[in-house]
Structure 1
Amino acid sequence: MNTTRRTLTCAMLMFTSMACLPAKVSGDEGMYLFNDLPANQLKERYQFEPSGDWADHLRLSSVRFNSGGSGSFISSDGLVLTNHHVASDTLHKLSTPEMNLIENGYLAKTLDQELKAPDLELNQLVSIEDVTARVKAGVKEDASDEDAVKQRRAIISTIEKESFEQTGLRSDVVTLYGGAKYHLYCYKKYTDVRLVWAPETEAAFFGGDADNFEYPRYNLDATIMRVYEEGKPAKLEHFLSWNKNPLSEGELVFVSGNPGRTQRIFTVEALEYLRDERIPYVLDFLRRKEILMQQFGLEGTEQARRARDELFGIQNARKAYSGMLGGLQDPQTIAQKTQRQEKLLAELKKNPELQHLASAWTEIEEIQDVKREMIDRSVSLRSTLFGLALQTVLLAGEDAKANELRLREFTDSSRESLMQELLSTAPIYRDLELAKLSDEISRLIISRGADDELVQKILDGKAPRERAAALIEGTNLDSVEYRKETIDGGQAAIDSSDDAMIRLALLIEPEYRSVREQNEAIEERERQAYAQVAEAITAMEGTSGYPDATFTLRLAFGTVKGYVEDGKMIKPTTNFAGAFQHAASHKGQADFDLPQSWMKAKDTIDLQTQLNFVCTADIIGGNSGSPVVDRNGELVGLIFDGNIQSLTSDYLYSDEQSRAVSVSGVGILEALRSIYNAGELADSIGK
């Protein structure tokens, strides 16, 4: 699975992502901006010229999930296609002990059966504007790192606020090419999103952890939702028509989605920090959380259901980071990067006009030492209730400031999205919160030391589990009404609150702000250094045409193509017959049991129908749910994963073995008709 949901954003401690210029493009490499598409490459390599209308239609038919993934509009009446694992956060929140949507799936036969998501937001990219000159003018050349952070935040907040007030659209300024460019992305938001259809986990995640990031695959990792406006299905002008034919090897395809982040500009020293420090730290964290969730799930069937979604995300992340680490531990990876870096620096130092840029590499090397010191200074305890408390406390403090001085997530233009999250009606389970919070307090003792003054105040003379129990017993933040009342009361309500979790957030707030400011200063130093690196690469090698990924809409392209692994040729497509054969060859292994709906429908399924396929398109986490389209812009597939060889794509792309894995469009239609008795839904797709 190739995505990271919002619930894991904090838990995975994502790397700082400098959006910079990667190395020269090779093969089908590239995550291209929609306002700077690779027209020449496509014409020369594939004799294809994307028209403006083609690109605009695909952009407006694509959507971003605030939970961390991508999707596409597939009908004029608001249907949206994405992955089951992208939708699983919503499926989990809609589930009850009596109705487990993740495990058993769901089909709404009528509009009134479509289930409203409690806090899901979809973003449609409406426009892109270059605001580079204005952002750069807002930061003084002689500003310190700390002042530069504040000045840049102020001008970006001002731009976003002005855009939001003028358009009513979500307005985000995106940093590109390490600060060389800044673009204003304006999104139409859909906040009334309802579940229409989801298959069982046994079908969506067939093969389980063993098959995750592997190929061949036989997964129906798909879910269909619908966006509403004013209580009715949205009327859409732009949506994808559906190609009813299977793909053949060699066909050109395109992926329109929101890749999360890449680090292809990173210096050798930065990659060594990831290899030796950061990724091992993240993996230790994930393994700890995986054991915690597994143990909680063993307490009972209901506990297993409550922990399932988060456990799945943790396991997915653990396997992904293990693959990334494996790639970095391959001596050839660092050797290749070192060779290119040494060549670039040697050429740079020969040029009197550019040799001053070489100091950026030294600066980045020194920054890695600072990162090592800061690697475990976070005090943001990872539990839903504490997260709500901290956000509520921070909100009150930020609201007292001018908009341009606030932390970014608390600006006026971000307010609606923030409130939807803070006032989500999703259930909060106190027994799960107890397990998570007590573990977080225990982990804080390890990282800061038992004698640390803040740790002692947090513990309040109690053991971690005892303290966590008291905090949960003493809070009402699991009540939406109470959260709204506290937020509406502002700073006065916060200051007078006797809610235990609010009091804990107030205690931790000063250290949280201090650590955040230090990290932002580090990011500013790194941003400025990588901007120089990008300038040097552009001057010496020319531009590659695309910046590193930023969880914003990009276009990738490639061909349907098999590959060689361990001396064996891996075919690019699979079918339903292969799924049943795969299940039979793993009989007795629970993760390889196809659902009963499939077994009952076996005789009615056209077993030769294409189910999954791979292509050479350049994708990364965040692309999950991305539509795959052909030259005509018709949907032919749905990205849901990458193979194990693709896990180095954060920092190094190669299309020799790296492949994007998709559910075939014809496979989704066959499943809807022959397995799930959803013929009417299938008939409405693409219309």
Structure 2
Amino acid sequence: MRKITLCFLAFILIALPGFADEGMWIPMLLKKYNIEDMQKTGFKLTAEDIYDINQASLKDAVVGLGREGSPFQHFCTAEIVSDQGLMITNHHCAFGMIQAHSSLEHNYLRDGFWAKSLQEELMNPGTTASILVRMEDVTDKINAALNDNMSEQERAEKVKEISRKLEAEAVKGTNLQANIKPYFNGNQYFMSIFKIFRDVRLVGAPNSAIGKFGGDTDNWTWPRHTGDFSVLRIYAGPDNEPAAVSPNNVPYKPAKFFKVSARGVKEGDFTMVFGYPGTTNEYLTSYAIDQIANVEDPHKIKIRTAKLDVINAAMESDELLRIKYAAKAANVANAWKKWQGEIKGLDRFNTADNKRVLEQNFNQWAQANGKSQYIGLTDRYKELYAAREEYILAAAYAMEAGLNGAEVIGLARNIKGALEYFDKAEDKDKFKQTIKDYVTSFYKDYDPATDERILVEMLKLYNNKDLGEQWIPGVIRDIKGNNYERHAADVFKKSIFTHEERLLAFVDKLNAKTVKKLEKDPIYQMMEGIQNLRSEKINPELSRIERELVTLNRLWMAGLMEMQPDKVFYPDANSTLRIAYGKVSGYKALDAVYYTPYTTLKGIMEKDNPNIYDYDVPQKLRDLYKNRDFGPYTQDGEVPVCFIATNHTTGGNSGSPVLDAEGNLIGLNFDRAWEGVMSDMQYSPEICRNIAVDIRFVLFIIDKYAGAKHLIEEMEIIR
């Protein structure tokens, strides 16, 4: 019976194309692969309306938010909603900006921020806004320089060399920037060409009691009642072209902006998410899935749980510490909660077993058809992942409990990295000032007592029976009697890295001799011990294994596509512009638990609890609800807050526009339902849901709560 079931499942896996809701599709290829299906499911526009290089299209209103130095690695998406460069994105995407401008006197996290004029909008140096100009398939040009005799490292170097050449040629004589990335595990390459703006300003943000309502308690869950939005603006030079941050810049006039639909959505309506998803791994083998679910995720969860316990206790004890650690806590908790849902989802949908069925069928196909290049491929996967396990576990502890554990370890690491360039610096005083500015910035949101407690917990976790002694840095392994509290207290007392004044004084006197003195600092020694373990024992072998896995992954992907010639594959997310489409839909989360696809302001009031920080509703919002002062932003008598749909999304899609069948903005993507976060590795239309804040709630808060009617007037709203 088992054999028949496996064979039947294998047939299903091969014979059926991906579900309509599944996939992150390349905009320039929609006309070839997707537009007919999109139109059958309700879409009313054409492929050219979405992506066109000869005239304005929807792509021109989608913005990738990045950082100076890595503008192509988009951390979030935003959308332009006016002819003056006004953008909307998530509150959590702009959280760092809001926090950076906050203080005890002007606590924008607690109180919100709304600029009454252009002059009051706040600059955010270092933030970039990228708008795609066009894409180009450059696979043939890159493959022409490659051959089968190259090692993986030689191949990677050649790809990088050719890519840089093609990128430079593509933008020569322009102010554009190009970036080539691999697709389908390196079987295909596309070049994206961008116009990148560097003057992005904060226009408005609700207080965290709205923008982060539910906090980490509700993160990754449905039902959700979070007004996760903020308002930004792109500024350009007088010629409407990208310019350095300057008070002389003016609002950008876009080629296209989204009309905002206040007409609402209902269950079954077509929806489309247009944005920059970060990373997915849909084509992993069973060996990778097993290792993630049984080794990597459980240990990383344990480490972050300990860190969060300390941070949350500190935040509960003091309002200033809450300001300092709000963004840090959110950053730590985000992946922590996702990993937990990931494990449950992979188990619930038998992902590893399904992968094993596919691998069995792949092997049979390769043998039957004489595909010698694929025979033995899965056996080699098995060997490599078996060898990888101890190294990936050691790497997880080195990063999560070590370099990213106590913040002061990361500070020492960054200072060390900077000092490596000290001798080469022509202007030593300027170099010192740069380091001092970094130190001052670090200590602005740092509490030594909290970090000392984090270090104690991280040291305890390193004493782990699953982690062999050879993977514990000697400086930690040698702590006498495992007296971690006393050791941490001693380290924090002696180190210059735990005292701002000492560290700034050290930088002032910086020279070749003083740099050597750092080697005796206990925090520096701990950081060095972890770094050396990584560089000498962990990384060399782990990198060797990973390089071979890159080769296998490329071969595996090519084999799957060859075995299933009638299936339309979509490439894994890689922080490039993609389309995902589906429909508004509820789902069955558990036995006897069915979630409808909408939430309303009524639900916020039902959660209201002044004694719980995450659920303390602002009094003004209570008053608006009590007086039923909702304006034109209701559906069935209530203000809609959030909705869910079957769009396939991931990190990086935060802030992405959720569009209706006519391409109008109906919401902002900001999360996924916890039961389906395994969608990065296996999408299931039964349970995978993206969560969006309804644009009517955004308009309601801007208009009725914040009183920023000038922003409402700036948008083109369809009622």
Specify every segment of 5 or more residues in structure 2 that has no aligned partner in the other structure, as ranges: 1-13, 68-74, 237-245, 425-433, 632-636
Q: Distance in 1 between matches of 2:610 and 2:516?
A: 61
Q: 2:291 maps to what in 1? A: 273
Does structure 2 retain, via aligned residues, the 8 Å contact 1:170–1:186? yes
Instruction: For 1:144 and 1:162, locate their aligned partners in 2 and report how far apart those are by CA, in whole Å.
Output: 27
The answer to whether the 8 A contact 2:124-2:201 is kept is: yes
Change (3 A) 1:441 1:615: closer
| Distance in structure 2 (CA, Å) of the matches to 1:477 and 1:167 | 47
The runs of 5 or more residues in structure 1 that have no matched partner are 1-20, 402-417
Deviation at 1:158, TM superposition (A): 4.8
Please report the RMSD computed on the Cα atoms of aligned residues, expressed in angstroms.
4.0
Task: Work out the CA distance in 1 between the residues paired with 2:598 and 2:571.
Answer: 31
Pairwise CA distance, 1:627:
0.4
In structure 2, do the counterparts of structure 1 residues 518 and 97 end up closer, same or farther at CA, with 3 Å as the change threshold? farther
Q: Is the 8 A contact 1:126 1:186 kept in 2?
A: yes
Aligned match of 1:287: 305
- Residue 113 of structure 1 corresponds to 120
- Identical aligned pairs, as a percentage? 23
Task: Determine whether 1:337 maps to 2:355.
Answer: yes
Shift of 1:355: 4.4
On the 8 A contact 1:388/1:422 being kept in 2, the answer is no
Q: How has the CA–CA distance of structure 1 residues 504 and 331 changed in structure 2, closer, same or farther, with 3 Å as cutoff? A: closer
**Paired letter, 1:625:** G
Q: 2:578 is matched with which residue?
A: 554
Paired AA for residue 662 in structure 2? N
Q: Which amino acid aligns with 1:562?
A: G
- 1:678 Cα offset (Å): 1.2
Q: Is the 8 A contact 2:76 2:93 kept in 1?
A: yes
Cross-structure match for 1:367 = 384
Partner residue of 2:706?
A: 676
Contact (CA 8 Å) 1:23, 1:265: kept in 2 or not? no
Q: CA 1:328–1:255 in 2, change beyond 3 Å: closer, same or farther?
A: same
Cα 1:169–1:424 change in 2 (3 A) is: farther
How far is the alpha carbon of 1:442 from its aligned partner?
Answer: 3.1
TM-score by length of 1: 0.82
Counterpart residue number, 2:639: 609
Counterpart position of 2:36: 40
Aligned-pair distance for 1:150? 4.1
1:430-461 CA-to-partner distances (Å, cap 9, x unmatched) read 425844884597379646859977637999x9
Q: CA deviation at 1:52?
A: 1.7
Larger CA deviation: 470-479 vs 92-101 = 470-479
| Partner AA of 1:571 in structure 2 | T
Q: Which amino acid aligns with 1:66?
A: G
CA distance 1:47–1:436, change in 2 (3 Å): same
TM-score (ref. length: structure 2): 0.78
Contact 2:408 2:498 in 1 (8 A): no
For 1:213, the equivalent position in structure 2 comes to 220
Match of 1:195 among 188, 193, 202: 202
C-alpha distance in 1, partners of 2:683/2:488? 44
Q: Cα offset for 1:521? A: 3.4
Picking from 102, 107, 115, the partner of 1:100 is: 107
3-state DSSP of counterpart to 1:617:
coil
Question: Is the CA contact (8 Å cut-off) linking 1:93 and 1:426 kept in structure 2?
Answer: no
Number of equivalent positions: 642
Partner-residue secondary structure (3-state), 1:275: helix
Q: Which of 362, 378, 381 is matched with 2:403 structurally?
A: 381
Deviation of 1:42 (Å):
1.8
Instruction: Give the AA of the match of 1:644.
Output: W
List aligned pairs for 1:228-627, cutoff 5 A.
Answer: 228-229=235-236, 230=246, 231-298=249-316, 300-330=318-348, 332-352=350-370, 354-375=371-392, 376-377=394-395, 378=398, 381-382=403-404, 387=410, 390=413, 428-432=444-448, 434-435=451-452, 438=455, 442=459, 446=463, 455=475, 463-468=487-492, 470-473=495-498, 515-516=538-539, 518-542=541-565, 543-565=567-589, 566-567=591-592, 569-580=594-605, 582-583=606-607, 589-602=612-625, 603=627, 604-606=629-631, 608-627=638-657
**Equivalent position amino acid for 1:577 in 2:** K
**Distance in 2 between residues matched to 1:98 and 1:458, nearest whole Å:** 46
Q: Deviations over 1:183-202 (max 9, x none)?
A: 22233223322211111222
Contact kept, 8 Å, 2:63 with 2:77, in 1: the verdict is yes
Number of the residue aligned with 1:655: 685
Is the radius of gyration larger for structure 1 or structure 2?
A: 2
Contact 2:344/2:675 (8 A) holds in 1? no
**Residues 296 and 153 (structure 1 numbering): CA distance in 2 closer, same or farther, change over 3 Å?**
farther
Give the letter aligned to residue 684 of structure 1.
E
Task: Measure, in 2, the Cα distance between the counterparts of 1:476 and 1:134.
Answer: 55
Please list the CA deviations of residues 136-181 of structure 1 after superposition, one character each: whole Å capped at 9, or x if unmatched.
Answer: 4455532334444444444445555665665444433212101101
Query: Residue type matched to 1:218 in 2?
Result: H
**Secondary structure at 1:197 match in 2:** strand
SS of equivalent residue, structure 1 residue 323: helix
Higher relative contact order (CA 8 A, sep 6+): 1
Q: Residue by residue, what CA displacement relative to the aligned partner does 1:491-540 show, whole Å, maximum 9, x if unpaired? A: x8997896978998788766655555554433321121111111111111
Higher mean C-alpha displacement, 128-137 vs 70-79: 128-137
Tell me if the contact between 2:408 and 2:451 (Cα under 8 Å) persists in the aligned partners. Answer: no
- 2:274 partner SS: strand
